[in-house]
Structure 1
């Protein structure tokens, strides 16, 4: 997803860009309100993250002007000002959500996904059936099959398989998997992802069927058919 971040504090920019990259977001940056407004109007970003206190033009003005020309783009405002008056002012200017600094990147990422889902179902898959190799998954009935035979998966194993199969051929970090399959407040220090990937592998690769979940050294996991690349196994 293409995100526009309008923020003038370099440290905040660095933290947000690095953190959201782990969740699969591609972030472009504008360091002042005027530049942010121009970038928002000239490009097709999926979402705008907009600080309130900005040089040249403040975030409230930028938000109002974006809304005049782009009604549907989701906008989330960031600010250190948490009074009710400031929150109402931000939302009244056209923002969809409001997050007070300091905040956790996992919370920001969760808010972004919620806004993107709310944006409309046009970007969502039209089918509930997903497949890779000899594995098929029905997201509505919550049943997965290997060679047309139902797989006996726990609820967590099913969520993990569903996340992998919907994001096949993408490198998924452990943080992304934790945040998407488990609760965002789950203890990040555990090896729960590795444990459940091993559980799932055993069920998918039974009877010497082709390997589908590959470890990408230093990065995470990828679901794909065929032989792994040099940096995977």
Structure 2
């Protein structure tokens, strides 16, 4: 079986060496770059399974880098690693299309776990009859992460697709916030709750033009994906 290929951007040489060494010991193929521009060039010229990006880097920061990556590939998982602890920085990263965010100093065990979760989800094969969903005038392809309405096609990130699929598998059913968090992240801490709000906001914008569909916020409980279809 081919090794999972990781694109890793980090300008701290010591941290980069330790992290890369640990990832390689766990049988990952790691391409390390020391600045944003070098990372983007590597991304354009190679195929990777996951991106792990520092935020504070020379030449191009992680936010700009993630934005450029998302313009050409909306499906590849992106994990930010950063010393930035402000809630606003984390939310900004998610809005730019990141799937997860680890604050430095982080444990290599936690990073490995997150990588494993993303890779397993990417590799899952779904039954044909459960991969295509009808949402009023929309059609959602959960295997290929896109929503189509007429000639308009919107490609989702992996997190967005997983969340939308969870809602569609539980239409008109109340899903508790902690159930959603544990299903998608395996955790229900405060930051993951804030992350969930960002992804739900993005999904609401995607389905905003369909009158028969809505994502209801049940205060203090969770959410309900309501549809008349």
Please, what TM-score do these two structures have when normalized by structure 2? 0.52
Residue in 2 that maps onto 1:90: 93
Q: By how many angstroms is 1:83 displaced?
A: 1.3
Please list the CA deviations of residues 75-99 of structure 1 after superposition, one character each: whole Å capped at 9, or x if unmatched: 1000001111010011111111100
Alignment of 1:108 onto 2:111: yes
Q: By how many angstroms is 1:119 displaced?
A: 2.5
Residue in 2 that maps onto 1:36: 39
Q: Whose strand fraction is larger, Structure 1's or Structure 2's? A: 2
Residue in 2 that maps onto 1:198: none
Q: By how many angstroms is 1:117 displaced?
A: 2.0
Alignment of 1:81 onto 2:77: no
Choose which of 5, 8, 28 in structure 2 pairs with 1:5. Answer: 8
Aligned residues: 123
CA distance in 2, matches of 1:97, 1:64: 14
Please list the CA deviations of residues 12-44 of structure 1 after superposition, one character each: whole Å capped at 9, or x if unmatched: 111101111222111111110011011112211
Given that 1:52 and 1:77 are in contact with CA atoms closer than 8 Å, whether structure 2 keeps it comes out as: yes
Q: By how many angstroms is 1:120 displaced?
A: 4.3
Residue in 2 that maps onto 1:49: 52
Please list the CA deviations of residues 27-80 of structure 1 after superposition, one character each: whole Å capped at 9, or x if unmatched: 111110011011112211111100000100110000000000011111100000
Structure exhibiting the larger radius of gyration computed from Cα positions: 1
Residue in 2 that maps onto 1:61: 64
RMSD (Å), alpha carbons: 1.4
Deviant stretches of 4+, over 3 Å: none
Please, what TM-score do these two structures have when normalized by structure 1? 0.51
Q: Which runs of 5+ in 1 are unaligned?
A: 123-233
CA distance in 2, matches of 1:115, 1:86: 22
Alignment of 1:15 onto 2:27: no
CA distance in 2, matches of 1:20, 1:8: 17
Counterparts of 1:1-233 in structure 2, within 5 Å, are 1-122=4-125
